[in-house]
Amino acid sequence: MAVVCVRGPLRSLASGRGEHELTGATVCDVLRTFERENPAASGWILDERGLIRRHINVFVNGERGEETTALGATDRVEVIPAITGG
């Protein structure tokens, strides 16, 4: 199972848990599962088309990941909201 790590407001929406062990063949698969298992976070990571929102950064084992990035059983997926402001 891949480990999905969330921080900040996303962690709060996931019952305060920072790490979630999830199965899936791609980044998009595990993020869909994450949102399904954490309904309060639904729509914050993936948009209505199932694509990663542009203000969300995803890294797999420290490298930039995309929706189609393949995952293995020991991969670590970091989901980091972009910092914005003025």
Catalogue all structural domains in the chain, each as residue range(s) with its CATH number. Answer: 2-81 (3.10.20.30)
Q: How far apart, in Å, are the Cα atoms of 74 and each of 15, 19, 20?
A: 23, 13, 13
Residue 35: count of CB within 10 angstroms of its CB: 19
Q: Are 56 and 45 in contact (CB under 8 A)?
A: yes
Q: What is the pLDDT of residue 83?
A: 74
Give 82's pLDDT tier (boundaries 50, 70, 90). confident
pLDDT tens, residue by residue, 10-19 = 999 999 999 9
C-alpha count within 13 angstroms, C-beta hemisphere, residue 24? 22
pLDDT tens, residue by residue, 34-71 = 999 999 999 999 999 999 999 999 999 999 999 999 99
CA dihedral sign, ordered 26, 31, 34, 36: negative
First to last CA, the chain: 39
The model's pTM: 0.91
